[in-house]
Structure 1
Amino acid sequence: MARVQASDSLIPRQVFEVPPAEPNNSTADSGSQGSGVKLKKQIGLLDGVAIIVGVIVGSGIFVSPKGVLKFSGSIGQSLIVWVLSGVLSMVGALCYAELGTMIPKSGGDYAYIGTAFGPLPAFLYLWVALLILVPTGNAITALTFAIYLLKPFWPSCDAPIEAVQLLAAAMICVLTLINCYNVKWVTRVTDIFTGTKVVALLVIVGAGVWWLFDGNTEHWDNPFSGGLQDPGYIALAFYSGLFSYSGWNYLNFVTEELKDPYRNLPKAICISMPVVTVIYMITNIAYFSVLSPDEILSSDAVAVTFGDKMLGYMSWIMPFAVACSTFGSLNGAIFASSRLFFVGARNGHLPAAISLINVNCLTPVPSLIFLGVLTLLLLFIEDVYVLINYVSYVEALFTLISVSGLLWMRYKQPKTERPIKVNLALPIIYLIVCLFLVIFSCTQTPYVVGIGTIIILSGIPVYYLTIHKPVKWLADTSQAINLWCSKFFICMPNQEKFD
């Protein structure tokens, strides 16, 4: 086994070490452009589209139809929520295209909030992403994978929770290993399973169209009957819809590994978001055509219930295809979100060990393993819909802050180069809608909002104890962990030297 010799560069002098320079991620070799261990630009336009579509079209479309219908109250209102959720996500993605090309750094919201408002708000985003956003979203996807894959073995009842958790844990471990080993493997898996999930959704759409053409239109006789008009319920319906679109900003997490980001980032967004919105719309039309609202609300696996009713002895195809879909989605999510923690550690907001790069695979192995462990811990939470509300509230709040940063930088830095500059109305519209969601969700789920807010605010003392005025024993612990990780995982800090 190769040895990594301990040196001063591997032992931080403070709790969180900031590496000496930013990476250009363009190559793994030394040469005229620089030397050292760094990430590589390996993601092209099609890979970028596959990552966005692959991450978005995961568990959400197979879980959230129930949540959207529950808080909308009617089929017609549900479809409006689905369409508007896609439009809102597209508006947000365009705003992030401006942010991503103006601030071409990996880390997404973390980089944008830090540039606009400073280190403390950026750390709070990193803190809440660490505890809620990323591992919770990944845990939901992994549990959905296990539930759907095991459904054929327990067709008339729920699979044992222990079996679901064990299979979900095995999936997380396998995908973490793939992400640690090779980035090209990650993109291949994403490309393959993105195709699989689109095929699965097309099967649902095809069956729904056949059902409608056969004259079964009774569910559309009065589509707006029973709609709920309370703003709080509308906000919660949007939370479930937006959860299905979550992941549209994940490509911004890996900007530094994207080839020609000024061109490929906005193109990937503009291609993928309309595709996802159309797929979601026609998939839900198929669901509502075949299944009654009561059948959808009583099902924890809507796509499986749909398959049982429409596909007969071939119904096993649906849970298998859904499992493949969630497998690919989680693969892309692990790849993108691990870079968030890597960048946070590189900037001194997390232990320096998380910013280490394996010298052989050129991947952030400690960050990937750290994320995998956090996700495994969250598998023991059983209520998926409570998790969705936690994720959606916090995500809406911080995307609101990120888009506010765009407006703030338009005002404070009007001469900054912006390869893409969206119409000013778009961030304003997005800001207003996010404010509506955040404010009115408080009326229906004050407990969820309160706990989410407490978790966010708990990051303030952590920031001052570990970064602003670090405690000595934490510094010593960080030094020991950093040295151990560098030896055990054969890693080096992110390095770059210019001539």
Structure 2
Amino acid sequence: MGEEIPNGDTKVVLKRKITLFNGVGIIIGTIIGSGIFISPTGVFIYTESVAASLIIWLACGLLSTLGALCYAELGTSITRSGGDYAYIYTAFGPLPAFLRIWIALLIIRPTTQAIVALTFGHYVVKPFFPECDPPQDAVKLLAAVCLCVLTAINCISVRWTMRIQDVFTSSKLLALVIIIIAGLYYIFIGHTENFQKPFEGKYDAGSIALAFYSGLFAFGGWNYLNFVTEELQDPYKNLPRAIWIAMPMVTIIYVMANLAYFAVVSKMEMMSNPAVAAVFGDRLFGSWSWVIPVFVALSTFGGVNGVLFTSARLFATGAQEGHMPAFFSLFHIERQTPIPSLFFTCVISLLMLTTSNVFDLINYFSQTLWLSVGVSVVGMLWLRRAKPNIPRPIKVNIIIPYVFLIAIGCLVIIPAITNPRDTGIGIAIMLSGIPVYYLCVKWKNKPESYHIFSGCILRFMQRLCSCVYVEAAEKMTS
């Protein structure tokens, strides 16, 4: 387990057990989630074109691959956990990093959890309302129950949380295999009527950008790929190899699934019902149509679990750096779960359920998400100039980050012009973090009453949740 170091102590190191094959499986399992069961409607709503939708899915796969390669360099040169937060901190310092975790706390993470939970609610309710849209209150209630149950499980046991993740991952793959095989068979027996005039649609820049938001939501998770490097065999060769193998596979699966959807589901049905896989099942499987919604519901249940798990750890990292309230870094004494962070994440996600329209939520959070991704990649280029001597086991061709940044620029700027209201809200929330940073983080000589109040909250949470403060193994440096 350990190796001897000069002073006689034992240094514990993780064994590199993850092979290239395992790495490919981890990437595919991380990316494929709820998005492919909800985003096809979002892409088609904004393009109204079968051909354009399929092209956008291909382009989303390519863009995600470029992003994954950039993050492979970032993740192997900046090893501190925290993802974008750690990269922005190292490149640009504490204030930009604080703004990143601020928008993650208030927008990105809770909105993602709400979207996946609402997808779960749609697919659970849809079989009971095959001829009409399900009641939105029922969808939101089920989404809330899903969030609360999984938050409780995450608080109780890390082992149970991981078991849920393992068991429910297989359901999404099985659902996609069934959909693709059934859809291709439907095409082969002559049902091609939905592919008439495939390029007919709308192609204005704003609609295309919003269509990309829905497509890229389904590829979410590519920026977690570098988290396996510490346990990956020969990571500096196998990580880029795993990306080049897994990302095209995911893209092919997504394009084939959309091809199957378009073959079976009419354009009007696609635009009017976000639970497109449920409509697909009703059309092809008759009395067995309930199978698809069940598998999709299981998949999205596991998806909410994964987002909750990682969100709580992200906020704990921020608290360890002094950028979040100290109670976020409290972990249960025996269960080693960040109960206060999980509880807070759940509450903010529940507030996002004021709407049941998942596409409004996707558009709302995507701009800030891609802005932070872009800043991280700009940070990678800046570090090449400012810190040329830091270890870079993986170094991508300079063309890749520039192409990626041009695409991100379009994704951020075009919706800002066509939909300024949501952009304004997102920017206002982000900028509201500046006074919070200077008052709560930067200001060192705070009045005694502030320390008394924050200390009381910390001790109250410690006693309420039986938690202790956990410090970071290493501190970030800018």
TM-score (norm 2): 0.90
Distance 1:320 1:497 in 2: 42
Name the SS for the 1:398 alignment partner. Answer: helix
Q: 2:454 aligns with which of 453, 456, 478?
A: 478
Q: 1:312 aligns with which of 286, 293, 303?
A: 286
Is 1:108 aligned to residue 60 of structure 2? no
Given that 2:374 and 2:405 are in contact with CA atoms closer than 8 Å, whether structure 1 keeps it comes out as yes
Q: Determine the structure 2 residue equivalent to 1:491.
A: 467
AA partner of residue 316 (structure 1): W
Q: 2:93 aligns with which of 115, 118, 123?
A: 118
AA partner of residue 393 (structure 1): Q
AA partner of residue 82 (structure 1): W
Residues 330, 49 of structure 1: CA spacing in aligned structure 2 closer, same or farther, 3 A cutoff? Answer: farther
Could you report, residue by residue, the CA deviation over 1:196-240 in whole angstroms, capped at 9, with x for unpaired residues?
Answer: 1011011111111111110112223431122x3322222111111
AA partner of residue 485 (structure 1): M
Could you report, residue by residue, the CA deviation over 1:409-454 in whole angstroms, capped at 9, with x for unpaired residues?
Answer: 1111111101211111111111110011111112221111111111
Given that 1:101 and 1:261 are in contact with CA atoms closer than 8 Å, whether structure 2 keeps it comes out as no
Instruction: Report the more deviating stretch, 57-66 or 132-141.
Output: 57-66
Structure 2 alignment gaps of length 5 or more: none
Alignment of 1:255-404 (within 5 A): 262=235, 269-404=243-378
Is 1:202 aligned to residue 191 of structure 2? no
Higher RCO structure, 1 or 2 (CA under 8 Å, sep 6+) = 1
Could you report, residue by residue, the CA deviation over 1:69-114 in whole angstroms, capped at 9, with x for unpaired residues?
Answer: 1222311111110011011011101111111111111110000001
Q: Determine the structure 1 residue equivalent to 2:167.
A: 192
Alignment of 1:79-90 (within 5 A): 79-90=54-65
Residues 192, 273 of structure 1: CA spacing in aligned structure 2 closer, same or farther, 3 A cutoff? Answer: farther
Distance 1:129 1:497 in 2: 23
Distance 1:168 1:246 in 2: 20
Instruction: Report the more deviating stretch, 125-134 or 191-200.
Output: 191-200
Q: 2:131 aligns with which of 152, 156, 159?
A: 156
Distance 1:424 1:268 in 2: 20
Distance 1:497 1:404 in 2: 27
Instruction: Give the deviation of 1:268 after TM superposition.
Output: 5.7
Instruction: Report the more deviating stretch, 373-382 or 261-270.
Output: 261-270
Distance 2:285 2:460 in 1: 54
Could you report, residue by residue, the CA deviation over 1:112-166 in whole angstroms, capped at 9, with x for unpaired residues?
Answer: 0010001010000101011110000001111110121121223233333333223
AA partner of residue 356 (structure 2): E
Distance 2:28 2:353 in 1: 24
Instruction: Report the more deviating stretch, 42-51 or 85-94.
Output: 42-51
Name the SS for the 1:492 alignment partner. Answer: strand
Distance 2:389 2:318 in 1: 27
Instruction: Give the deviation of 1:461 after TM superposition.
Output: 1.0
Structure 1 alignment gaps of length 5 or more: 1-25
Given that 2:155 and 2:337 are in contact with CA atoms closer than 8 Å, whether structure 1 keeps it comes out as yes
Q: 2:433 aligns with which of 451, 454, 459?
A: 459
Residues 358, 257 of structure 1: CA spacing in aligned structure 2 closer, same or farther, 3 A cutoff? Answer: farther
Given that 2:130 and 2:282 are in contact with CA atoms closer than 8 Å, whether structure 1 keeps it comes out as no
Q: Determine the structure 2 residue equivalent to 1:21.
A: none
Given that 2:317 and 2:472 are in contact with CA atoms closer than 8 Å, whether structure 1 keeps it comes out as no
Distance 2:244 2:155 in 1: 30
RMSD over aligned Cα atoms: 2.7
Identity of aligned residues (%): 50
Q: Determine the structure 2 residue equivalent to 1:239.
A: 213
Given that 1:57 and 1:329 are in contact with CA atoms closer than 8 Å, whether structure 2 keeps it comes out as no
Distance 2:284 2:253 in 1: 19
Given that 1:250 and 1:333 are in contact with CA atoms closer than 8 Å, whether structure 2 keeps it comes out as no
Distance 1:258 1:449 in 2: 39
Q: Determine the structure 1 residue equivalent to 2:223.
A: 249
Q: Determine the structure 2 residue equivalent to 1:20.
A: none
Instruction: Give the deviation of 1:248 after TM superposition.
Output: 1.9
AA partner of residue 212 (structure 1): I
Q: Determine the structure 2 residue equivalent to 1:178.
A: 153
Name the SS for the 1:354 alignment partner. Answer: helix
Residues 234, 197 of structure 1: CA spacing in aligned structure 2 closer, same or farther, 3 A cutoff? Answer: same
Instruction: Give the deviation of 1:193 after TM superposition.
Output: 1.5
Instruction: Give the deviation of 1:262 after TM superposition.
Output: 4.6
Q: 1:92 aligns with which of 67, 70, 73?
A: 67
AA partner of residue 353 (structure 1): F
Q: Determine the structure 2 residue equivalent to 1:429.
A: 403
Is 1:225 aligned to residue 225 of structure 2? no
TM-score (norm 1): 0.86
Distance 2:138 2:421 in 1: 30
Distance 2:473 2:261 in 1: 56
Could you report, residue by residue, the CA deviation over 1:28-85 in whole angstroms, capped at 9, with x for unpaired residues?
Answer: xxx94589xxxx9999568876665445322211221112112223111111100110
Distance 1:315 1:390 in 2: 33
Q: Determine the structure 2 residue equivalent to 1:8.
A: none
Instruction: Give the deviation of 1:178 after TM superposition.
Output: 2.6
Instruction: Give the deviation of 1:271 after TM superposition.
Output: 5.0
Given that 2:73 and 2:394 are in contact with CA atoms closer than 8 Å, whether structure 1 keeps it comes out as yes
Name the SS for the 1:311 alignment partner. Answer: helix
Given that 1:106 and 1:255 are in contact with CA atoms closer than 8 Å, whether structure 2 keeps it comes out as no
Residues 326, 491 of structure 1: CA spacing in aligned structure 2 closer, same or farther, 3 A cutoff? Answer: same
Between the two proteins, the alignment pairs up a number of residues equal to 464
Given that 1:57 and 1:325 are in contact with CA atoms closer than 8 Å, whether structure 2 keeps it comes out as no
Residues 186, 99 of structure 1: CA spacing in aligned structure 2 closer, same or farther, 3 A cutoff? Answer: same
